[in-house]
Amino acid sequence: MLIDFTVENYMSFKNSTTFSLEATKLKDHTENIFSVGKNTLLKSAVIYGPNASGKSNLFNAMRFMRNFIETSATEYKLNDPIDVEPFELNISTKDAPSLFEATFIHNDIRYRYGFRLDKDIVHDEWLFYTPQVRETKLFTRTKQDFDLSKGFTEGRLIVKENKTRENALFLSVVAQFNGSISNEIIDWFNQFNITSNVEKNHFQHYTMDMLRNTEEKYKLLQLLLSVDMGIKDIELKIENIEYEKLLPKLEQLIESPEKEVGSISRSEIVTKRMQYNEYNEYIQDIEFKLERESTGTRKFLLLAGPIVETLSNGEILVIDELDNSFHTQMTEFVVELFNSEETNPHNAQLLFATHDTNLLTHKLFRRDQIWFTEKNIYGESEVFSLIDFGARKDTSLEKNYLEGKFGGIPHIHNLFAEKMNNSIDEE
């Protein structure tokens, strides 16, 4: 479970910015929150803001942290540059380190892990945990100087033998040597599912994997039947193609093609719909390839996999532009899946960005579940909560947002019309 995430000097975030899923003391929508020990957390949160205000960059920062943790020890070599992107619109930050930190709960233990790095080296790294009441250090790192507590003995040999490169995370290296605590942290980040509207292949991978399992396919189908898209069934169709029937160009990619025998397989998702005669009597099921479905249907079919997996395993799902190609009620349905105690028994969390102001209602969200992004004239993004405005329970959220009372809306100046009018006047 994610408690909060902090980023500094990354893409459009110049200053330290913290996004939190920790619930406040509001009394409404108690079904939208859950407790783990002394922590009370939100099941979902939504972020509003104009285009290019920083919503996607916040998610990109989360993705970078997760990916670097997973790959720094194995995919980077000595002196390889780190593909971090600092805030470049100010000379004080364009060459300075970027900071990433996450506070979370995994297996009932609260952790705080983070690091600072630039394109060349990891400057700082730290891991703390709260076994009971007080937060306790497991390790800290300043460049290649490591300070390990008695509770992190798994890292001692790594330090002694100097196995951590300057451009790799100590945590990731220790995990490669089967460190128990470090692998717990890696395991949590593996459950941090971050995707965007353009990553359709990522959606498809989730859903196709689940269709290979009878039990998981049943869960997917029940979700699809709930939204009444007219789909009776969904299947993964696998076609075996003999090598000799492949295009000659493909043979160039196969080592010693003359010695190859057998076939390769091609998989695609197909839907099944009911076909009727002229008397509206059911005749048979017919198959539709995924590309024949509407954009909204395709997106939901591909999103169904991540949604079901996240709900089933109590993971975290982060989606940019969830509402793209969706009717408001469809987006609302997805949010309610996470807010419901019945469909979300394992306390999975949903974080998403949207422009759909129809969702800005007290019927769906608590006020601490609503966040905004805004970018100032210097190109610096910030994230802030609706709670910061002291909005009351009876406040018309959509109306006040569109009137600019909460910020996070585009400032549109019709310079094009002004220029055109000026040109006409000059003529």
**β partners of residue 46:** 352, 370
The mean pLDDT of 64-69, rounded to a whole number, is 95
**Which of the given ranges, 220-224, 259-263, 369-373, has the highest pLDDT on average?**
369-373
pLDDT exceeds cutoff 70 at 309? yes
Give pLDDT, residue 2.
96
Segment 415-427, tens digit of pLDDT? 555 555 565 555 5
Residue 330 CB contacts under 8 Å (≥ 6 apart), including other chains: 227, 296, 300
Q: What is the DSSP letter of 266?
A: E
Domains of the chain are: 2-191+315-402 (3.40.50), 200-300 (no CATH)
pLDDT exceeds cutoff 90 at 239? no
Give pLDDT, residue 259.
47
At residue 313, what is the residue type? N
Segment 179-194, tens digit of pLDDT? 999 999 999 999 988 8
Position 290 confidence tier, pLDDT thresholds 50, 70, 90: confident
Angle at 105 between CA 157 and CA 345, to 5 degrees: 135
Give pLDDT, residue 203.
62
Segment 81-127, tens digit of pLDDT? 999 999 999 999 999 999 999 999 999 999 999 999 999 999 999 99
Give pLDDT, residue 154.
95
DSSP track, 179-221: -HHHHHHHHHHHTEEEE-TT-HHHHHHHHHHHHTSHHHHHHHH
